[in-house]
Amino acid sequence: MIKVVHVVSDTNIGGAGRWIINFLKEVDKQQFDASIVIPQGGLLKEQITALRGHVIEIPGMADRSVDMKSIWYLYQLFKKHNPDIVHTHASLSARIAARCAKVKKIIYTKHCIDAVVTTGIKQKLITKMNIWLSDYIIAVAMAAKEGLVASGLPADRIKVLHNGVDKLSKISKQERNIYRDKWGISTDEVLVGIVARLEEVKDHATFVKAAHEVLKRGNEAKFIIVGTGAQEKTLKELVKQLGRLKNIIFTGHTHDVTAVMNSIDIHVISSKSEALCLSIIEAMSVGKPGIATRTGGNPELIEDSENGLLVPVGDIQALADAMEKLIKDKPLRQMMGQKSEQKMEEHFTAHGMVKKLEALYIERIKQD
């Protein structure tokens, strides 16, 4: 049995946390003994426990890639458990501890895309540390790999392993209407939704302004913003200023992503930067057409004019045009939705992702 320790430094449940949940659901427990290390008090604990995963809480480390105190705890943990593989998700502390503890293989998954700075002493130091501290690097999108290579990391040490999710189940029209009714949306209204934490990088302001433009043109539609975050107050004030409180609705956080994705007709991501957006994949899984900004890994999910539409980052008019096009054309929405679902099933399932990862683990271990 191969012993693997995953380390996640996030206290919330973001992309890395959802990746861990999907991993635990699909991993072959007869072949892999997996433990998950999280910060003390992290929100992942409950879900890991529910999946009967082995969770270990470490003091410090919370929401920081480097924490000197946690390095000592992690070093002791790795010496005690003697894992074959330490697989980190942004935690530089864990990679330092694993290297000092002489762990056989250290794998690092890059879940985001950073602004690339190829010059300067600091960047050169970071690159050298990443090379020394990682035997292998996983990028969740081709765009993420390109960013890593541009920063100076060798391409042959990086493998693209696309994120995958569990296919969401489809709900009945009656169930769908119950959820829509909660938001004040009738059965026949076209519903456009964005599901993302309310942070600057997700650029909800462009979504709101584009929705306002669509409504100004006389189109009948409703828009929902699903999630919470630092930009919530600012965005609500913007919607109020535009006089769109009846048409642009904030749902807050929801645990029922299945209900949301089934209830919308068009899924939108307006981010300034993305690696591989899980919300897009979830919407694809229930046959929803997508509109996304042409950034990072979004074009790897949305093929323009095939299963959705791509628009430039921050372009309010282009986003409004794309929304209007799909709002007005139901057959086009249905055609793109069918292609989205097919593409998700072929390339972006959690099962497929984990099986590829298991093969990578075995290949890395056999190299010794």
Distances (CA, A) of 307 to 103, 164, 298, 317, 361: 43, 17, 12, 21, 33
- CATH for 2-165+349-366? 3.40.50.2000
Beta carbons of 284 and 307 less than 8 angstroms apart: yes
What pLDDT is stored for residue 171 in this prediction? 95
In whole angstroms, give the CA distance from residue 17 to residue 116.
25
What pLDDT is stored for residue 65 in this prediction? 67
In whole angstroms, give the CA distance from residue 65 to residue 129.
13
Q: The whole model's pTM is what? A: 0.87
Residue 334: closest CA among 268, 266, 275: 266
What pLDDT is stored for residue 192 in this prediction? 98
Beta carbons of 163 and 276 less than 8 angstroms apart: yes
Q: Are strands 32-39 and 191-195 parallel, antiparallel or unpaired?
A: unpaired
Beta carbons of 13 and 47 less than 8 angstroms apart: yes
pLDDT category at 132 given cuts 50, 70, 90 is confident
b (16+ CB within 10 A) / e for 210-229: bbbbbbeeeeebbbbbbbee
47, exposed or middle or buried, with CB in 10 Å at 0-12, 13-18, 19+?
Answer: middle
Helix (H, G, I), strand (E, B) or coil at 124: helix
In whole angstroms, give the CA distance from residue 108 to residue 130.
9
Helices (H), the chain: 15-26, 44-50, 68-81, 92-100, 121-133, 142-150, 173-182, 204-216, 232-242, 257-263, 278-285, 298-301, 316-328, 330-347, 350-366
Region 176-198: mean pLDDT is 94
For 281, phi then psi, to 5°, come to -65, -40
In whole angstroms, give the CA distance from residue 344 to residue 286.
9
Please determine, for residue 119, whether its predicted confidence score (pLDDT) is greater than 70.
no
CATH 3.40.50.2000 spans which residues of the chain?
A: 2-165+349-366, 173-347
pLDDT category at 10 given cuts 50, 70, 90 is confident
Q: Any idea which of 61-70, 196-205, 215-224, 256-265 has the lowest mean pLDDT? A: 61-70
With a pLDDT cut of 90, the percent of the chain lying above it is: 76
Q: What is the dihedral of CA 64, 69, 70, 71, to 10 degrees?
A: 110
In whole angstroms, give the CA distance from residue 208 to residue 230.
16
Superfamily (CATH H level) for 173-347 = Glycogen Phosphorylase B; (3.40.50.2000)
Beta carbons of 361 and 27 less than 8 angstroms apart: no
Please determine, for residue 67, whether its predicted confidence score (pLDDT) is greater than 80.
no
Helix (H, G, I), strand (E, B) or coil at 32: strand
What pLDDT is stored for residue 116 in this prediction? 52
Query: 20 pairs with which residues across the strands?
Result: none
Tell me how long the chain is: 368
Q: Which residue type does 45 have?
A: K
- Could you report the per-residue pLDDT of 290-319, keeping only the tens digit for each? 999 999 999 999 999 999 999 999 999 999
Residue with tokens 């992942």: 44
pLDDT category at 121 given cuts 50, 70, 90 is confident
